[in-house]
Amino acid sequence: MVPLANHMFLISNAIKYSESRQTISIQRVDCQDWLEVRIIDQGRGIPASAQARIFERFQQVETDDSKRKGGTGLGLAICKSIIEQHGGSIGVDSEPGKGSSFWFRLPLTVVQKGPLES
């Protein structure tokens, strides 16, 4: 089972950073050895210079985000840690003004075992 908190957090962020009535979609891609989940929004997008650092603790794209949108800049760092502990990876494809596609990949062996099995 996919760690539920991760994609729920990514969905919550997509809602937070999208304008009213914009579409957010969720895609699942099954490959031979892994599962990919993508959360795609039509929000403001993320500059290339900020894409790598947003997965670090206490980082936000804009300094005003914590005041305007709330949050501490820990959510994506926590998601990254959880995904990596399960042998996966997380990232973002984004372009300013065109939205973002946050994704994570997990080995199918992790997905199939479920949350309580070792």
- Ordered by start, the domain boundaries in the chain are 4-113
Identify the pLDDT of residue 1: 44
- 9's CB contacts (< 8 A; 6+ apart) are 75, 76, 78, 79
Instruction: Report the b/e string of 73-82 with b at 16+ CB within 10 A.
Output: bebbbebbeb
Phi-psi region of 30 (alpha: psi -120 to 50; beta: other; left: phi over 0): beta
Measured from the Cβ of residue 99, the count of other Cβ atoms closer than 10 Å reads 21
What angle do helix axes 4-16 and 75-85 make, rounded to 10 degrees?
150
What pTM was computed for the model? 0.77
Q: What does the mean pLDDT of the chain come to?
A: 80
What class does CATH assign to 4-113? alpha beta
Q: Give mean pLDDT, residues 54-72.
A: 62
